[in-house]
Amino acid sequence: MKNLFDTDYVIYDKGNDHVLRWETNGDMIVFGDKEEAIENCYRNEEAIRCTDLSAHHKKELINQLNK
């Protein structure tokens, strides 16, 4: 079983409670480098650690990583 690490980042839009996802399959996009995540942010988005996500997003991401 895979776990979340505080060295992995996602792009998060707090106002819409939305994590950036791949269009092809709907999976959350995980970045192993904070700077790369920041470079891909737009408008209201921010790069946050996977471990800082809300509980429901963490649960979904853990399920995604373990499928």
**4, part of any domain:** no
**57, part of any domain:** yes
Residue closest to 52 by CA, chosen among 4, 3, 2: 4
Domain count, the chain: 1
**44, part of any domain:** yes
- The pLDDT score that the predictor gives to residue 59 is 95
Indicate the pLDDT class of residue 2, thresholds 50, 70 and 90: confident
Boundaries of domain holding 24: 9-65
Tens of pLDDT, residue by residue over 7-32, are: 999 999 999 999 999 999 999 999 99
Indicate the pLDDT class of residue 3, thresholds 50, 70 and 90: confident
Tens of pLDDT, residue by residue over 44-56, are: 999 999 999 999 9
- Which residue is it, tokens 């963490």? 58
Mean of pLDDT values over 39-46: 96
**1, part of any domain:** no
- Residue 5 to residues 23, 24, 44, 61, Cα–Cα distance (Å): 24, 25, 24, 11
